[in-house]
């Protein structure tokens, strides 16, 4: 069955997803604010700002007409940066019907409060057919046809099956998960640790060090998420460990590039401004450290990075937080009801 799909957002990931679905024969409109970008995509089949080397399917329609794009769709992918996410959702709220499916692909938190993007959708829409798409999904690799796996998380069977139907292809495979909270938290949290890994790589640390940073990052991520109701096993899959590996090792990752720039001597503003796209990890870091303090959660890497970026702490404090902090068990994939020693 062919579907009518709207992708909100003209960035790299939204464009990559829209192109897959158009290639699969679905009717796809991609909404964006920039009229020049709309015209370029429709006339040349290129999104030169975000995916300059990726020819787009000729039936993919770019549009700035939000009302038409929403009304004509049965499924809406929201690929909007977190800082603009709620504003756009408010605009589409009057256009939504109870049968529409909404999918968030944004890996971050509401910048105004500690709230996940799917919760913003639930709070501002009549439909409760909501899902989260996340995983090790570097947009340039997807657009280049590199084999990629992703995760659709939703308690609703129809939502999961719809997304699989829309996106499955010889190079893009979608796995299912019912743990929306875990999948979404994993996608948001790993951006913090991609900054740490980029910074470490700029300092030319060894593979032993990088391995330790990444595994301790996973421990912090799962510790935080389990406290807020996530399933710790989610962090062993594509949405957790998979996304962490891709984001913490690839120069295609925006947050990794921010960390690398800082490790190379740039200040935070120049590092963020230099990548030309939104790096969610900086804002996520502020919110996560604040929540960790409120709930007494042990997050030494996030805490150390926060002090480095916002409190003018020395780099040695970040290193010291990992090497001389409170001694902990190696493996911490335990639920709230289980022992800390697994």
Task: For residue 278, say whether it is annotated as part of any ligand binding site.
Answer: yes
Looking at the predicted structure, is the pLDDT value of residue 320 above 80? no
- CATH code of the domain in which 28 resides: 3.40.50.720
The catalytic residue among 100, 129, 181, 190 is: 190
- Residue 335's pLDDT is what? 55
340 domain residue, yes or no:
no
C-alpha pair distances (Å), 130 with each of 103, 121, 137, 152: 6, 8, 20, 10
Reported confidence tier of residue 323, pLDDT bands at 50, 70, 90: confident
Asked if 190 is an active-site residue, the reply is yes
Residue 78 shares a structural domain with residue 174: yes
Q: What's the rounded Cα separation, in Å, for the pair 60 and 15?
A: 9
185 domain residue, yes or no:
yes
Residue 99 shares a structural domain with residue 194: no
CB of 69 closer than 8 Å to CB of 63: yes
Residue 291 shares a structural domain with residue 152: no
51 domain residue, yes or no:
yes
Task: For residue 108, say whether it is annotated as part of any ligand binding site.
Answer: no
Residue 98 shares a structural domain with residue 246: no
Taking residues 163-188, report their average pLDDT. Answer: 98
Question: In which domain, by residue range, is 129 found?
Answer: 4-178
Residue whose C-alpha is closest to residue 162's, from 223, 76, 67, 221:
76
Whole-number percent of the chain with pLDDT over 90: 86
- Residue 326's pLDDT is what? 67
Whole-number percent of the chain with pLDDT over 70: 94
Residue 41 shares a structural domain with residue 95: yes
Residue 94 shares a structural domain with residue 68: yes
Task: For residue 321, say whether it is annotated as part of any ligand binding site.
Answer: no
Looking at the predicted structure, is the pLDDT value of residue 337 above 60? no
- Residue 331's pLDDT is what? 72
Residue 135 shares a structural domain with residue 252: no
- CATH code of the domain in which 186 resides: 1.10.1040.10
Q: What is the pLDDT of residues 277-294, one digit of tens each?
A: 777 889 999 999 999 999
- Residue 279's pLDDT is what? 77
Q: What's the rounded Cα separation, in Å, for the pair 88 and 72?
A: 17
- State residue 83 phi and psi, 5-degree precision: -65, -25
Residue 185 shares a structural domain with residue 298: yes
HEC per residue, the chain = CCCEEEEECCCHHHHHHHHHHHHCCCEEEEECCCHHHHHHHHHHCCECCCECCCCCCCCCEEECCHHHHHHCCCEEEECCCHHHHHHHHHHHHHHCCCCCEEEECCCCECCCCCCEHHHHHHHCCCCCCEEEEECCCCHHHHHCCCCEEEEEECCCHHHHHHHHHHHCECCEEEEEECCHHHHHHHHHHHHHHHHHHHHHHHCCCCHHHHHHHHHHHHHHHHHHHHHCCCCHHHHHCHHHHHHHHHHHHCCCCHHHHHHHHHHCCCCHHHHHHCCCCCCCHHHHHHHHHHHHHHHCCCCHHHHHHHHHHHCCCCHHHHHHHHHCCCCCCCCCCCCCCCCCCC
Task: For residue 135, say whether it is annotated as part of any ligand binding site.
Answer: yes
| Domain count within the chain | 2
- Residue 339's pLDDT is what? 34
In this predicted model, which residue has the larger pLDDT, 101 or 330?
101
335 domain residue, yes or no:
no
Task: For residue 24, say whether it is annotated as part of any ligand binding site.
Answer: no
Residue 163 shares a structural domain with residue 202: no
Looking at the predicted structure, is the pLDDT value of residue 214 above 70? yes
97 domain residue, yes or no:
yes
Residue 161 shares a structural domain with residue 236: no
- Residue 1's pLDDT is what? 87
Q: What is the pLDDT of residues 243-278, one digit of tens each?
A: 999 999 999 999 999 999 999 999 998 998 888 777
113 domain residue, yes or no:
yes
Residue 158 shares a structural domain with residue 17: yes
230 domain residue, yes or no:
yes
């Amino acid at each position: 069955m062919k579907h009518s799909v709207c992708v909100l957002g003209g960035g790299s990931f939204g464009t990559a997803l829209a192109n897959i679905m158009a290639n699969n024969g679905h009717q796809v409109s991609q909404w964006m604010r920039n009229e020049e970008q709309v015209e370029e995509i429709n006339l040349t089949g290129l999104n030169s700002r975000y995916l300059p080397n990726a020819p787009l399917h000729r039936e993919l329609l770019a549009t700035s007409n939000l009302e038409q794009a929403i009304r004509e769709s049965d499924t809406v992918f929201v690929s909007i940066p977190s800082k603009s996410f709620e504003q756009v959702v408010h605009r589409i709220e009057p256009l939504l019907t109870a049968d529409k499916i909404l999918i968030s692909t944004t890996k971050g938190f509401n910048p105004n409060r500690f709230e996940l993007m799917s919760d913003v959708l639930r709070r501002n829409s009549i439909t409760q057919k909501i899902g989260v798409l996340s995983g090790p999904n570097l947009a340039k690799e997807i657009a280049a046809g590199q084999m990629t796996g992703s995760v659709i998380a939703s308690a609703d069977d129809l939502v999961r099956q719809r997304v699989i139907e829309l996106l499955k292809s010889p190079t893009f495979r979608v796995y299912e998960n019912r743990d929306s909270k875990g999948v979404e938290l994993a996608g948001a949290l790993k951006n913090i640790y991609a900054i740490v890994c980029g910074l470490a790589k700029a300092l030319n640390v060894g593979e032993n060090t990088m391995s330790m940073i990444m595994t301790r990052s996973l421990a912090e991520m799962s510790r935080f998420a389990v406290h807020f109701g996530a399933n710790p096993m989610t962090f062993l899959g594509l949405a957790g460990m998979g996304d962490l590996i891709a984001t913490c090792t690839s120069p295609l990752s925006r947050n990794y590039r921010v960390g690398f720039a800082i490790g190379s001597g740039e200040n935070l503003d120049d590092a963020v401004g230099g990548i030309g796209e939104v790096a969610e990890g900086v804002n996520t870091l502020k919110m996560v450290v604040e929540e960790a303090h409120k709930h007494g959660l042990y997050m030494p890497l996030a805490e150390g990075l926060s002090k480095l970026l916002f409190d003018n702490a020395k780099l040695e404090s970040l290193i010291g937080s990992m090497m001389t902090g409170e001694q902990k068990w190696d493996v911490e994939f335990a639920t709230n009801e289980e022992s800390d020693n697994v």
